Amino acid sequence: MKTCGEIAAWFDREWPEDLAESWDNVGLLAGRADKEVHIVYVALDATEKVIEAAVRAGADMLVTHHPLIFGGVKHVSDQDALGRRLLALIGADISCYSGHTSFDIAKGGMADLAAERLGLFDKEKALFPLQVTGEQGDVSVGIGKVGDLREALTVEELSGIVKERFGIPAVTVYSAGNRIKRAAISPGSGKSMGKEAIRSGADVLITGDMGHHEGLDLVAEGVSLIDAGHYGLEHIFIEAVAEKLQAADASLTVIKDPVAYPCRVL
């Protein structure tokens, strides 16, 4: 792989773009497909800090999980954050590819990686998505996973495991006072996953971006909630993509953005 287009095609083969949600925006979002690539910088978000780091590293391409561009762009100027980011990338001749819900949903993507890191299993069959969104080959794929823990735990015990395995400094917990054996995990924003977690028979939902009312509603249904933050569960994208890309082409220099939480609990 020597061009942005070839790296984009590789990502699409690994985590197909056609699996992405209809509202999403994935693919090569800035730059030239024929741009020759020697250095790739991998990050969760294309923030100004990340772009500055990519420029300092001499990167030819930035690969992110969250899309640089979500909706329509009416102007590209230094008058807003998106404009400044686009100008910085284009000025440095760095192309940007974003693989969002395509990575979340596809086999070997976010859902599988998060469930594996947590140690979820099903002794009778493969883990099932929390929300099925499509098929990949003969396998149902979608958002999140549902599976069993090796032993029943309290929400406090499981919270400690989540913090340790994902390197999370703090979590927010709504406890239903239940022993937890079956868990649902949905990296990113899980505000729409509450009903899915209840339907799945999960004792706990592990996700991010949950609010007061969502927590109370889950507890009322006997389901505990561990809110590990949006970044907390999804930063695993960086390591997974960087290592797989490096294995696919040893001639590339692949740089991982350091894991650094964008917010703090004071």
Residue 1 pLDDT greater than 80, yes or no: no
* Confidence category of residue 124, pLDDT binned at 50, 70, 90: confident
Residues forming beta bridges with residue 143, ordered by sequence position = 131
Mean pLDDT of 166-194: 97
Distances (CA, A) of 93 to 4, 51, 73: 11, 11, 20
Mean pLDDT of 145-150: 98
Average pLDDT of the chain, as a whole number:
97
Residue 43 backbone class (left: φ over 0; alpha: ψ -120 to 50; beta: rest): beta
Each residue's pLDDT tens digit, 64-75 = 999 999 988 889
Name 260's Cβ contacts closer than 8 Å, sequence gap at least 6.
none
pLDDT value at residue 123: 82
Residue with the larger pLDDT of the pair 266 and 111? 111
In the numeric block, which tokens belong to residue 206?
A: 């592990």
Each residue's pLDDT tens digit, 204-256 = 999 999 999 999 999 999 999 999 999 999 999 999 999 999 999 999 999 99
Each residue's pLDDT tens digit, 57-104 = 999 999 999 999 998 888 999 999 999 999 999 999 999 999 999 999
pLDDT value at residue 142: 98
pLDDT value at residue 48: 96
Each residue's pLDDT tens digit, 15-50 = 999 999 999 999 999 999 999 999 999 999 999 999
In 80-203, at which residue ranges do the beta strands (DSSP E only) sit?
95-98, 131-136, 139-143, 145-153, 172-174, 180-189
Name 68's Cβ contacts closer than 8 Å, sequence gap at least 6.
29, 30, 46, 82, 85, 86, 89, 96, 98
* Confidence category of residue 125, pLDDT binned at 50, 70, 90: confident
Angle (nearest 5°) at CA 86 between 82 and 40: 120
Contact 17, 106 (CB under 8 A): no
The verdict on pTM exceeding 0.75 is yes
